[in-house]
Amino acid sequence: MSRAARIEVDWTRCDGHALCGLLLPENLANDADGFPLIHRAEVDPANLRHARRAVSACPALALRLERT
C-alpha cells in the first residue's frame, strides 16, 4: 500500500551537495549554490522509490521523507 509523503529539508544540515536534484527532479532542483529548491513537496506514490534513494544519498543527512 502506498502512502502520501512529503519531502522536507533540514536547512541547518544541508551543505548544498546537490545530489538530491539529480535523484528527485520530480520534486526539487538545486540552485546555483547547490541548495535544493522544492517545487513540489508532495511525493507521488510512483516516485517514492526515487525519493527514498535521494534521502539516503544525501551526504549531510539533510533530506527527510515525512509521512502525511
Partner 1 sequence: MTTVGLPAASPTAFGTARLLGGVTHGGRADLTTHRRVHGPQHHRTLDELAADASRVRLLGRGGAAFPVATKLAAVPVGPRTQVVVNGSESEPASRKDRTLMTLTPHLVLDGALAVARALRTTHVTIAVHDEAAYASLRAALEERTRREPVTGRVDLHRQPAGFVSGEVRAVLRGLDGGPAVPPSRRTLPSVSGLHGAPTFASNVETFAQVALLISLGPAEYAAVGDPEEPGTTLLTLLGDTRTRGVVEVPTDLPLDALVPGEGGPVLLGGYHGRWVHDVVGRTAARPGLRAAGLPLNAGVVARLPRDVCALAEVTAVARWLAAQSAGQCGPCLFGTAAAARDVGELLRGRAAPAVEARVAGLVRRGACAHPDGTAAFVASALEALPDELAEHRRHGTCGRPYGGVLPLDGAG
The correct pick among 3, 11, 59, 68 for binding partner 1 (CB under 8 A) is: 11
Q: Could you tell me which residues come within 8 angstroms of residue 14 by beta carbon, excluding any fewer than 6 positions away?
A: 35, 36, 60, 62, 63
Question: Would you count residue 58 as binding partner 1 (CB under 8 A)?
Answer: no
Question: Would you count residue 5 as binding partner 1 (CB under 8 A)?
Answer: no
Stretch 33-52 residues interacting with partner 1 (CB under 8 A): 33-35, 37
Contact residues toward partner 1 (CB under 8 A) are: 9-16, 31, 33-35, 37
